Amino acid sequence: MSLKSILARSAGKLTRWGLTTFTRGGSSLPGKVATTIDPNILSHLANDYHVIIITGTNGKTLTTALTVQALQTTFDHIITNPTGSNMAQGIVSTFLSAPALPKGHKGIAVLEVDEGSLKHVVKHLQPIAFVHTNVFRDQMDRYGEIYSIYQLMTDAAKQAPEATIIANGDSPLFNSIELPNPRIYFGFDHESDHDVTPHYNTDGLLCPHCHKILQYHALTYANLGKYYCPSCDFKRPELTDKVTQLDELALTHSRFAINGHPFRIPVAGLYNIYNALAAYSVASFLGVKPDDIAQGFARAGRVFGRQEIFEIDGKKVLLNLVKNPVGLNQVLELIGLDKNPFTLVSILNNRYADGTDVSWIWDGNYEQIVDFPIEQVITSGMRADEMTLRLKVAGINPAIMAQVESHDEIIQRIQQADTEYVHILATYTAMLDLRETLIKRGYLKK
């Protein structure tokens, strides 16, 4: 390590010490300080680690958390970026905060990486594997269409051609072009073939070879499933790891089988079973046994802002992040499992991290919630007017709706709600800001 790198690492560690000692901490500033001194510091920091990069539109954070839990049953010296700080400076900060490795040992770094940041970090990290979770329309002002997002992912993969791509085989996009990397596919294979048609507003349904509309023998959600082209030989690839059975889809947990082995995770939804399946594929790729993976999953907790459960003065609250139409629809289906009367809170921001274009809410299927046992609706956020209008158009009775300005008002409305149960849907910065208020008022721990 050069003198510049040593100075950069020391400055970054000193910054982290100052932040954790005198403030509430900071996930990216140490990395910013270090990279300002040495733009190549990440190469030096990552040199002693086998790196797994997890990327895609939805599910990165939980897939990362489950992967870490599974690997910890077998390996020591695992680091990760658990706060979701998934851009270059935050990733540098992750390495700066890691404990020193024993001499002669290599660690494992399981890193969630933002799709837009891949090109900035892959050349430094030189991963042994990429995990591609899915690609859906998301923050179009930043990423563009799904094909632009996938281009970012494939360009990054080409920078590390020896790295294995562990990809969602149910996504047609991930099988659409040739790459130099070895590939492993995971997906759902729990039901007999039958004809099924995706929703007419679904993205990514054209065959990449002949541009005819794809058809499906099985469909989980959106464009994910056992696809095939009726006009050419394009079809879902062979799956190495597959969900072979769905046993229970509850509001608080899921039970299922992968390759015939039973698993349980403490979160709900088909989309989270995909996350568990991706984590299983990574762990299996590294030689972890199925029983050990199951033990790791059993120890996993909920990730902040993703089906996070807490109470506000006796009200049972479930907080979910929403950020794009596909993810929103999955969360709405999830809360539809709640048969208890509940209050719905929807907070819509449009800062850069949320996506400045909020037109995506009009592609979400809010119409389905009209039949849910909702007794009160509270809207808030920077674009509360738009959120209120969207719910009215969906068919929510304006008489049960209230629009409020602040998080304190949201909390007050929840305290006064007639229902025992509350569901909160929030975009990214809205979720972070609300959690900060809840922490200050003692309803959440940091």
Joined tokens for residue 250: 């509850």
Q: Which residues contact 193 (CB under 8 A, 6 or more apart)?
A: 217, 218, 226
Looking at the structure, do residues 65 and 134 belong to the same domain, yes or no? yes
Q: What is the rounded average pLDDT for all residues in the chain?
A: 92
Looking at the structure, do residues 354 and 425 belong to the same domain, yes or no? yes
Q: How many residues does the chain have?
A: 446
Q: What pLDDT does 141 receive? A: 53
Looking at the structure, do residues 273 and 363 belong to the same domain, yes or no? no
The CATH number linked to 431 is 3.90.190.20
Residue 357 annotated as catalytic = yes
Looking at the structure, do residues 129 and 165 belong to the same domain, yes or no? yes
Looking at the structure, do residues 280 and 403 belong to the same domain, yes or no? no
Which domain, by its residues, includes 47? Answer: 39-186+269-299
316 pLDDT more than 90: yes
Looking at the structure, do residues 279 and 373 belong to the same domain, yes or no? no
Name the catalytic one among 76, 193, 357, 385: 357
87 pLDDT more than 60: yes
Residue 9 belongs to a domain: no
Q: What are phi and psi of 52, to 5 degrees?
A: -110, 125
Helix (H, G, I), strand (E, B), or coil: what is residue 80?
A: strand
Span 148-157, mean pLDDT? 94
Span 416-438, mean pLDDT? 96
The CATH number linked to 111 is 3.40.1190.10
Span 387-397, mean pLDDT? 98
26 pLDDT more than 70: no
Q: What pLDDT does 248 receive? A: 95
71 pLDDT more than 70: yes
Q: What pLDDT does 298 receive? A: 93
Residue 198 belongs to a domain: no
Query: What DSSP assignment string belongs to 261-323?
Result: EEEEESS-SHHHHHHHHHHHHHHHHTT--HHHHHHHHHH--PPTTEEEEEEETTEEEEEEE--
Looking at the structure, do residues 275 and 316 belong to the same domain, yes or no? no
Distance CA 144, CA 383 (A): 21
Residue 215 belongs to a domain: no
Looking at the structure, do residues 273 and 168 belong to the same domain, yes or no? yes
23 pLDDT more than 80: no
Residue 227 belongs to a domain: no
Structural contact between residues 152 and 57, judged by C-beta atoms closer than 8 angstroms: no
Residue 148 belongs to a domain: yes
The DSSP secondary-structure symbol of 367 reads G
Looking at the structure, do residues 279 and 384 belong to the same domain, yes or no? no
Span 296-311, mean pLDDT? 88
What's the domain count of the chain? 2
SS3 content of the chain, % helix, strand, coil (to 5): 40, 25, 40
Looking at the structure, do residues 335 and 398 belong to the same domain, yes or no? yes
| 126 CB neighbour count, 10 Å cutoff | 16
What are the start-end ranges of the E strands in 98-162? Answer: 107-112, 129-132
Looking at the structure, do residues 281 and 402 belong to the same domain, yes or no? no
Distance CA 130, CA 299 (A): 24
> Residue 219 — pLDDT band, cuts 50, 70, 90?
very high
Q: Which residues contact 309 (CB under 8 A, 6 or more apart)?
A: 252, 302, 316, 317, 318, 319
Span 419-425, mean pLDDT? 98
Q: What pLDDT does 185 receive? A: 98
Looking at the structure, do residues 167 and 76 belong to the same domain, yes or no? yes
Sign of CA dihedral 74, 79, 80, 82: positive
Query: Is the pLDDT higher at 142 or at 249?
Result: 249
Where on the phi/psi map is residue 59: left (φ > 0), alpha (ψ -120 to 50), or beta? left
- Provide the Cα torsion 270, 358, 60, 219; round to 10°: 30
Distance CA 18, CA 14 (A): 6
Distance CA 313, CA 417 (A): 11
Give the pLDDT confidence of 28-64 residue by residue, as tens digits: 788 788 888 988 899 999 999 999 999 999 999 999 9
140 pLDDT more than 70: no
| 188 CB neighbour count, 10 Å cutoff | 24
